[in-house]
Structure 1
Amino acid sequence: MGHLPKLIEDLALILMAGAIITLLFRKIRQPLVLGYIIAGFLVGPYFQITPTVVDRENIETLAEIGVIILLFSLGLEFSFKKLLRVGGSASITAFVEIIFITVSGYFLGKMLGWTTMDSLFLGGMLASSSTTIILRAFDELGVKTKQFARIVFGVLIVEDIVVILLMVLLSTLAVTRAFEGTEMLYTVLKLLFFLAIWFIGGIYLLPTFLRKAKKLMDEETLLTLSLGLCLGMVLLATRVGFSAELGAFVMGSIIAETTSAEKVEHVIKPVKDLFGAVFFVSVGMMIDPGAMVQYAGPILWITLLTIFGKLFSTTLGALLSGQPLKQSVEVGMSMAQIGEFAFIVATLGLSLGVISDFLFPVAVGASAITTFTTPYLIKYTGPIYDFATSHLPQKWVKRLNNYSMGAQKIQADSQWKLVLKSYLRIALTNGILLLATALLSINFLVPFVNANVPNETLRIIIILVISLGVAAPFLWAFMAKRPNSLTYKQLWLEKSYNRGPLLVIEILRSLLGILFIGFWVQRLVPAPIAILVIVPVAILILLVFSRRIQKVYLRMETRFLANLNARAATEVSEPSLAQSIMLKNEEMQSNLEPWDAHIVEMKVNPNAGYVGKTLLDLQWREKFGINVIYIKRGDRLLRAPGRDSAVMPFDHVGIIATDNQIKTFKPNFDALETSDMEDRDIEEISLQKIIVNEHTKLKGKDLRSSGLRERTDGIIVGIERDKERILNPDSGVILEWGDVVWIVGDKRKIRQLNTI
């Protein structure tokens, strides 16, 4: 047998250790991520009892692939529309928490005497909470139906995207060492610019390609194409100076807006699980117990900052967003842990060689402690809230709750605000496209034409015609496209004094468009010629061919919007009842917040004691104060059910209630009917035969009087008589000598009867 490469031996060791330890962790109901990390420690260089991984370099390469696949999968689950639906409450809460904990982490690192890069990466590691741990704790404690859980899930969505951007910013700072304010601002603007370009270009091209190639792709081809697109974007991101993780996330988020998103997510899951396991095991291999003991002090300080810092900042953010004090405390208590992103951020820092080795075991130690404290913090939210309110001045509590009620009453944007948002969207989108066109021309078109066209005048003409021709649709939109909204028309027609400001906006953006043309042209020809000749000619061409240019732009815009909304359009064209209910519930939720109430959908257990009873008999509103607003039964919906409406098995009941009302009502709703039915193992039931002879003494009796049903706890399903077979015989059939009676029943009793 040939020599087996060390990589295969190491991979076998990693996967077997990961599988065994995670089975144990699933048994004791602990996070699987922690199990993978412990498995990595057991096969790592710091634990000598078990076999150790030999080829560390190849394992690190596989781990890096694992990070890329994890970020790609995260992008598939992310959606810009989902981010917009999160709402202001979750967004404000997330930003307050991230800013506070990141800055606090940086200053804690400096207080501990760490370097600037170690302190910056510590702040980035603390910025995210753990979705896995929170979901597990919510399931175990049964609080997913509470109102604060909705805010927590929204905060987690915002955290994901912000931490991705933090990773890119940290990696850029690590490479460039640009710590000055202007350089950091330039880095952020550059990041936002490339994100916008990739997203706009990806949405314009990719969904169309996937739609046309749909009939040619099976799961294997789709998986290959998806991974190819992911790694291609990784390569592009690294070429322009960003991290591989950003490229993977961006491509995932682009595919998430296509109609193939669910299929890609399905085919990529086994790959994600495999490489994700390798990554987290590789994380465990870097744990040095000696370093964890040596840095026990920093681990303790970081743990305390995570618990109390996140508790304070998240609670503060929720209060500022207008949530009641109790709900804000519940949100804060849920977010006090370090998420899986901490390991990805630390791995990024180590791979770049900009952070110290001790930072990794410190992060793992703090993460392990906060993993175990999270369920207890959520469980004891009530007593902690009661303690806080009893020690706070009552006027403070009253003011906080009054602020919450006032914030929730703020309604829709003004007409001017909506119109200005539309203008800003038009200017930003087309401005970014114009800037991208200019950069492409400078970096690719100009060098190519200069190298292949010897005549200088001809070179200038070719460059101007191609670049301005490509930019013409975006120039027209930037300078002349008006918001397609009824609000704009109302502002223009209803009040004459609105026309002045609107005209000023139109003139300003036209001037900005002319300045862009002048800026671009003067890079190719002397300024006087550009100003006196080329700019006027370009403006004249835009005016003369404005209708054609407009048609080109509208076709491009229509295609982009169709691709962007394709997934949503597919869902809306034939929306499921569940989707329609979810959207309607989200629509009504904002109006319920001032009442401290929310909509909860609960499924009826078929063994519940109230099944078949009417709402009048149940009197849920009178007993618990809740209101049933709909009953979903299969594909039918009963809206505003009346007093005579019955609750049936597997119904989905939508109720409006406060958290306290749900807490009182849920045990009653989940209670099961006590049954006198005998529990029997399925293995005890079998199909067996009894022969009518002198031993069984059944000759001449009919099936009803034979007592076979009672004596075998069974049902007679057939009789063989000579060459005739009687299936499901009538109870009046008379048994004869030699009949073979087939019975489905208790095999032990049937055998006992045969023995007798």
Structure 2
Amino acid sequence: MHGAHEVLQAIAIVLCVAAVTTVVFQKLRQPVVLGYILAGLVVGPYLPIPLVANQEVVTTLSELGVILLMFSLGLEFSLRKLFSVGFTAGITAVIQCSIMVWLGFVVGRAFGWTTLESIFTGAIIAVSSTTIIAKVFDEQGIRGKLRELVVGVLIVEDLIAVLLMATLTAISTGAGLSVKDLTLTTGKLVAFLVGLVAVGLFIIPRAMRAVIKLNRPETTLVASVGICFAVALLAQSFGYSVALGAFLAGSLVAESGEEKLVEHLVQPVRDMFAAIFFVSVGMLISPALIMEHWLAILVLTVVVIVGKLVSVALGAFLTGNSTRTSVQAGLSLAQIGEFSFIIAALGLSLKATGSFIYPVAVAVSAITTLTTPLLIKASGPVASWVDRKLPKPLQTFVTLYGTWVERLRQAPRRETLGAGVRRLIRLLVLDAVLLVVLVIGTALMADRMAHFVEVRTGVDEDLSKNLILGGAVLLAVPFVLGVIGMARRLGTILSEAALPARKDGKLDLAAAPRRVLLVTLQVGIVLLVAIPVVVVTQPFLKGLAGPLVLLVLVGALGVAFWRGATNLHGHVRAGAQVLVAALAAQSHSKEPGAEEHALDHVQGLLPGLGAPASVRLEESSPGAGKTLAQVNLRGLTGATVLAIQRGEQSLSVPTAQEVLQVGDVLALTGTSEAVDAAKALLLGAPPSVPPPEPSPTEETRAHG
């Protein structure tokens, strides 16, 4: 127990120093999170400054900051909103965590660490920090789709972290992890979540509405924080993180419909304890330790930033997000945090890792905490740069891919479609599980089997082992081909649901887009299955056999994808001529409303071009007089201009240097949200769906 004097002294030192550093950082126009971390370094035990705060007291108080931050985040995400991004977030989180676990394992082995230490390293860098991101997003005012996607991924990552900790515990204690154990652990987690949500929905929203009717702000604040801590404590008692419980508490309170009032009341308390949390992170930074393990810390920091950027962007894009949103999400999640400390501490307590793992994890977390505000601030310009540097065929593809996924989500859920998809998914999982069992079984039993063969037959043990490994490779081939075949069949069903083939024998104008969509879905499905298989089997294999097989598969599919994307670019250029003709016909029509509905019939003629929409530039339009490159339409909104009608002149697939003029009628395509945001950007009118938030520098460039 800590005495009252110790607690008072720690709070006074921490808040006074943090106040000074945050004022300085505000004056310098830098994120205040960096000021909190600097304050932690000042009051920590590693610098010769006579302002040392009791680290145990600060750490205890910082837990309150984590809980309140997660509760506030939950208030923004009702359960309905969370479920709406569940599919996208789930796939993105699985791809990201799988890739990061593998990268961490490879880095650990490269430094000569043991297999267990390398596995723990992978788990440590797999999970991003919800607390850090929530604070930076609040500071920079980031809302909308990007925030929803990132928070959804973070919640799924926390659930994955729970399963990782159970797996690591079983492996480290020598008990092994059977399918039964994993199923039991997952079942308990699902049962806890379902039970908590079911009971919570029945009680908490009603209770909050009753409290708020009293019209006493202090009562509402006390009740809200009480619910927050009660659910966090309940989660902890079941063996799960307090952060997960606090987030669920916020989501349940949000179901009352009074989340804005509660958030306003909780904010001052949250901000104070959140400041203590970030100061506690800064107190863990040891300059001497960083110097001792500087190379490992540097490599892991680069792996975290680059690996999470690529893996998150890949997962987000495959699930239908724009290039901009995908890159921004990747840069937003490029750090590790509180769960990394827990996993590192678990390794120490189980004696599965050396004492160096925990301080290395702390140093990487501290450095990536420092870089996170800068990366999020730079994410908009970086996303625009990536979009500009993409080859023309890929620029066309990324615009249209979002429209195809949108159509796939809107496709009728026919019973036969659902049954066929579920059956193929079960076969995919079965092939993957059997492949994992074969690889691990061969790796563990090859020496013993070779010795048995030598004793029984007299065949040399090395030759016997080579024959056994060769036989295992031959047995693995059908499973690999099965994954590829199932992925193609599943991709065929989904691509035809998004872009149905013509049944009347006429020319199928959706054939080229459908081929590209099929290959893309096949690549995505193969990655979604193969990456976890490689991660699970890598510790049992020598060398890089698994990753090389995956690389060959993706490379072969990538060649097919590039050919399809090139053909798609030609298809779009031809389709743009149809749009030009439609706009030209509209310009000569005297019917009222002809311009607004000029492209209504194009979607039926060219289903692969999304749902093109037209917009006329008026004298007040911010886009008039600027080139398409200056407007940066595709980079900021995800929509693209396929054609322009200018009086009697028509332009199809205009270049980036084309100057927009008053009176131009533009044919836009992209997802419905992207087209709406593009119209708002061109006309200066508020969109019905908020567009992605441009950074201040981009906003200045886009609007002159």
| TM-score relative to the length of structure 1 | 0.50
1:98-497 superposed matches below 5 A? 98-112=97-111, 113=113, 116=116, 119-120=119-120, 123-128=123-128, 131=133, 135=137, 152-170=146-164, 172=166, 180-182=177-179, 183-216=181-214, 218-322=216-320, 327-328=322-323, 331-332=326-327, 335-336=330-331, 338=333, 342-349=336-343, 354=349, 356-369=358-371, 371-373=373-375, 375-376=377-378, 378-389=380-391, 406-410=404-408, 411-416=410-415
**Residue in structure 2 matched with residue 63 of structure 1 by the alignment:** 62
CA contact (8 A) 1:66 1:272 kept: yes
Question: Which structure exhibits the higher relative contact order, with contacts defined as CA atoms closer than 8 Å and separated by 6 or more residues?
Answer: 2
Instruction: Give the deviation of 1:658 after TM superposition.
Output: 11
Change (3 A) 1:269 1:348: farther
Structure 2: which 5+ runs fail to align? Answer: 350-356, 421-605, 626-659, 669-678
Distance 1:6 1:593 in 2: 67
**Residue in structure 1 matched with residue 663 of structure 2 by the alignment:** 622
Instruction: Give the deviation of 1:349 after TM superposition.
Output: 4.0
**Residue in structure 2 matched with residue 25 of structure 1 by the alignment:** 25
**Residue in structure 2 matched with residue 7 of structure 1 by the alignment:** 7
Percent of residue pairs identical: 28
Change (3 A) 1:36 1:594: farther
Aligned positions, number: 450
Instruction: Give the deviation of 1:405 after TM superposition.
Output: 5.6
Residue 285 of structure 2 aligns to a residue whose secondary structure is: coil
1:627-642 superposed matches below 5 A? none
Instruction: Give the deviation of 1:265 after TM superposition.
Output: 1.6
Change (3 A) 1:333 1:254: closer
Instruction: Give the deviation of 1:97 after TM superposition.
Output: 2.9
CA contact (8 A) 1:76 1:265 kept: yes
Residue 323 of structure 2 aligns to a residue whose secondary structure is: helix
Residue 240 of structure 2 aligns to a residue whose secondary structure is: coil
Change (3 A) 1:666 1:210: closer
Decide which structure has greater helix share. Answer: 2
Instruction: Give the deviation of 1:202 after TM superposition.
Output: 0.8
Deviates more, 1:411-420 or 1:102-111: 411-420
Distance 1:330 1:106 in 2: 29
Q: Report the AA paired with residue 363 of structure 2.
A: P
Deviates more, 1:407-416 or 1:129-138: 129-138
Instruction: Give the deviation of 1:10 after TM superposition.
Output: 2.0
Q: Report the AA paired with residue 165 of structure 1.
A: L
Distance 1:229 1:656 in 2: 33
Deviations 1:411-439, CA, capped at 9 Å, x for gaps: 42324279989xxxxxxxxxxxxxxxxxx
CA contact (8 A) 1:337 1:374 kept: yes
Deviations 1:586-643, CA, capped at 9 Å, x for gaps: xxxxx9995598999xxxx9x9999xxxxxxxx976258499xxxxxxxxxxxxx9xx
Change (3 A) 1:27 1:110: farther
**Residue in structure 1 matched with residue 438 of structure 2 by the alignment:** none
Instruction: Give the deviation of 1:291 after TM superposition.
Output: 1.2
Residue 51 of structure 2 aligns to a residue whose secondary structure is: coil
Residue 40 of structure 2 aligns to a residue whose secondary structure is: helix
Change (3 A) 1:624 1:105: farther
Q: Report the AA paired with residue 203 of structure 1.
A: L
Change (3 A) 1:107 1:156: same
Instruction: Give the deviation of 1:62 after TM superposition.
Output: 0.9
**Residue in structure 1 matched with residue 527 of structure 2 by the alignment:** none
Distance 1:312 1:263 in 2: 38
Distance 1:47 1:277 in 2: 20
Change (3 A) 1:118 1:29: farther
Residue 49 of structure 1 aligns to a residue whose secondary structure is: coil
CA contact (8 A) 1:202 1:254 kept: yes
**Residue in structure 1 matched with residue 427 of structure 2 by the alignment:** none
Deviations 1:287-345, CA, capped at 9 Å, x for gaps: 1011112222122222322333233223322442345xxx43762365235567x3322
Distance 1:209 1:179 in 2: 45
1:73-84 superposed matches below 5 A? 73-84=72-83
Change (3 A) 1:669 1:403: closer
Distance 1:662 1:34 in 2: 20
CA contact (8 A) 1:137 1:374 kept: no
Structure 1: which 5+ runs fail to align? Answer: 422-590, 611-618, 628-640, 642-646, 672-756
Deviations 1:174-199, CA, capped at 9 Å, x for gaps: 66657614323321221111110010
Distance 2:199 2:191 in 1: 12
CA contact (8 A) 1:334 1:378 kept: no
CA contact (8 A) 1:302 1:366 kept: no
After superposition, the CA RMSD in angstroms is 4.8
Distance 2:613 2:40 in 1: 44
Distance 1:380 1:302 in 2: 22
Instruction: Give the deviation of 1:25 after TM superposition.
Output: 1.8
Change (3 A) 1:297 1:378: farther
Distance 1:133 1:596 in 2: 38
CA contact (8 A) 1:18 1:277 kept: yes
Q: Report the AA paired with residue 68 of structure 1.
A: I
